[in-house]
Structure 1
Amino acid sequence: MRVGSLGLIAVPVLVAAMACAPGEQKATPASPTKGSTAAADCPTMTSGTLTVATESPAHQPWFVDEDPSNGKGFESAVAYAVAGHLGYSAEQVKWVKFPYADLFLESVERDFDFDINQIVISSDPSTRSDLSDSYYSAAQAVIALENSQAATSVTSVSSLAGMKLGAQSDTVSLSVLRDAIKPATAPLEFSTVKEAERALANGQVDAILADLPTAFYLTEVEIPEAVIVGQFRPETGGSGTGGAAQFAMLLDKGNPLLSCVNAALAEMRDNGELDQLEQEWLSEAVEVPFLE
């Protein structure tokens, strides 16, 4: 399950395809810090190359210009920083496109070392997968059209129960919607964030759920006529992490690279690198009220 990237609401948004050619890497890799692992100690699918997957299109704030190879956006920056800690330069990182929904399918062949795509650590996409330690904790938020009843009258979790709500399927947002809000009308599920946006704009739903960084992006760029009604406290919800979702990278089960990735994330947590990247790409400029 993905984190409310609308519904996560799963987050992929824009329509153009992202650039993934290995020769197009433009990012400057994070310099491996003391204690980083040599690339030779972390075997990958292709020797000398770290293959990273994400969904297409890849949108802000996780990626910028739908191009994960430019090192811009939180998840792109995290991926390159992890690569640096593993001993891989930016030129040795290859990006591939991999649909989020296919992570749930046992029969689909995987062509990556790890996937970074707002995947929630409490979820278990398939029995063939392992999840890394968390690299980000995202609160869930409610989005509604400005001046709508949902935008003007909702101040608590219970006040959402009588409204028509939606979220992306197989996401933390959908779990929080069902378990914490428990709406009187069955929530609508959407396969993409674009579908959710369209439903909100057309009045098909009163509000949609997404993780807070995605909610900021949607209301500032994709649906400027919408507002963030409020966010859930971490203890709210039924996902095991409450209203917050812990993002993790996904690898094939038993992949020895997992311990290398977790060691890199631990170094990045200890030296403040993850906090710095979060501040750079996900800092919240607006105070969002909590829904009690």
Structure 2
Amino acid sequence: MIRRRSLLAALGAAATVVALTACSGGSTGGASTTTSAPAAASGAALTTVTAGKLTVATGQPAYSPWVEDDRPESGKGFESAVTYAVAKQLGYAASDVVWVRSSFDSAITPGAKPWDLNIQQFSITADRKKAVDFSSPYYTTTQAVVTSKGSKADGVTTIAGLKGLKIGVATGTTSYTVVNAEVGQPAVYTSVDDAVQALKTKQVDAVVTDLPGAFYIAGAQLDDGVVTAQFASTAGGDQFAFVLPKGSANTAPVSAAVDAITKSGELKEITDKWLSSEVDVPVLQ
């Protein structure tokens, strides 16, 4: 499911918004581009908006599990942790990472940007590539099970356990393909919203959708929603990546840094922590 701007609006109504804290240094002012030269892991200096600093934008507010307590500078939350790991690969100390805020839509429009990188669950698409650059992907969405507390699906963390339940999915989606292959024929609905309505009226025991969508459903569409488990496979999932200005000289070194933490296993450790353990969404066995 490609992330939409409406997701932020809905989550804003469902989540408890923490008062925005001051970002760690810097601002979104239109600083002229200068060259910084930390000892980057790739051996290449970056061209950044502020010399010696890596300016990273995220949403306002930013939500768990991507950023905890709307404080990206804390390093807590999946995308915050990924950013600091990439920055380290590029040769930047944590104190040299400057956080600013931007809207989702403005980040993916053409033109100069007052930041070096932007991270807020941007799916890589052909249309967006016409306006901005993307790094190598740091996450591919999995399919997840969302239900209501106390339902038959609540607490089920095995494929075998799901086989005795009625599961709703949207037609023509990766969710349908995964459930049909691993669990059995699901109940098929025209849209995810229709599947959620079927869950609310107890026509199904659970809904399967991509993990970001599952967090949205649990937090914004259900009064007592819970994401209980996720499938191991990422086949067909959307890929999330850093956004950079179109034609940025930094795209290659940032991609190399993402590739490095992927190869080393550090990215998997971050993913397991923030998108499994911390949010209690185990992988289905």
Relative to the length of structure 2, the TM-score reads 0.66
Alignment partners' CA distance in 1, 2:241 and 2:81: 14
Query: Which piece of structure 1 moves more, 143-152 or 53-62?
Result: 143-152
Native 8 Å contact 2:54 2:96 kept in 1: yes
Task: Report the alpha carbon displacement of residue 86 of structure 1 after superposing the two structures with TM.
Answer: 1.2
Q: Summarize the alignment of residues 247-286 of structure 1 with structure 2, pairs less than 5 Å apart.
A: 247-284=240-277, 285-286=280-281
Alignment partners' CA distance in 2, 1:254 and 1:122: 16
Task: Name the aligned partner's letter for residue 252 of structure 2.
Answer: S
Alignment partners' CA distance in 2, 1:209 and 1:72: 27
In structure 2, the CA distance between the partners of 1:5 and 1:36, relative to structure 1 (3 Å rule), is farther
Residue-pair matches, total? 254
Alignment partners' CA distance in 1, 2:125 and 2:164: 25
Native 8 Å contact 1:14 1:59 kept in 2: no
Task: Report the alpha carbon displacement of residue 14 of structure 1 after superposing the two structures with TM.
Answer: 4.1
Q: Summarize the alignment of residues 144-155 of structure 1 with structure 2, pairs less than 5 Å apart.
A: 144-146=147-149
Pick from 160, 168, 186 the counterpart of residue 168 of structure 2.
Answer: 160
Alignment partners' CA distance in 1, 2:167 and 2:150: 16
In structure 2, the CA distance between the partners of 1:179 and 1:131, relative to structure 1 (3 Å rule), is farther
In structure 2, the CA distance between the partners of 1:54 and 1:208, relative to structure 1 (3 Å rule), is farther
Pick from 69, 73, 81 the counterpart of residue 69 of structure 1.
Answer: 73
Native 8 Å contact 1:86 1:261 kept in 2: yes
Task: Name the aligned partner's letter for residue 98 of structure 1.
Answer: S
1:116 is matched with 119
Higher relative contact order (CA 8 A, sep 6+): 1
Alignment partners' CA distance in 2, 1:9 and 1:139: 23
Pick from 128, 136, 141 the counterpart of residue 139 of structure 2.
Answer: 136
Unaligned residue ranges in structure 2 (runs of 5+): 27-38, 157-161, 179-185
1:91 aligns with 2:95: yes
Task: Report the alpha carbon displacement of residue 21 of structure 1 after superposing the two structures with TM.
Answer: 2.5
Pick from 47, 53, 57 the counterpart of residue 49 of structure 1.
Answer: 53
1:36 aligns with 2:41: yes
Identical counterparts, % of pairs: 33
Q: Indicate the RMSD between aligned Cα atoms, in angstroms.
A: 4.7
Native 8 Å contact 2:86 2:258 kept in 1: yes
Alignment partners' CA distance in 1, 2:18 and 2:282: 32
1:81 aligns with 2:89: no
Native 8 Å contact 1:51 1:112 kept in 2: yes
2:23 is matched with 21
In structure 2, the CA distance between the partners of 1:159 and 1:130, relative to structure 1 (3 Å rule), is same
Task: Report the alpha carbon displacement of residue 88 of structure 1 after superposing the two structures with TM.
Answer: 1.6
Alignment partners' CA distance in 1, 2:115 and 2:74: 18
Query: Which piece of structure 1 moves more, 278-287 or 2-11?
Result: 2-11
Native 8 Å contact 1:6 1:214 kept in 2: no
In structure 2, the CA distance between the partners of 1:69 and 1:255, relative to structure 1 (3 Å rule), is same
1:246-276 residue CA offsets vs partner (Å, 9 max, x unmatched): 2211111210101110111122122222122
1:104-144 residue CA offsets vs partner (Å, 9 max, x unmatched): 4447x632211111122356435211111111222022423
Native 8 Å contact 1:6 1:210 kept in 2: no
Unaligned residue ranges in structure 1 (runs of 5+): 25-33, 166-173, 190-195, 236-240
Relative to the length of structure 1, the TM-score reads 0.65
Alignment partners' CA distance in 1, 2:187 and 2:109: 29
Native 8 Å contact 1:4 1:10 kept in 2: no
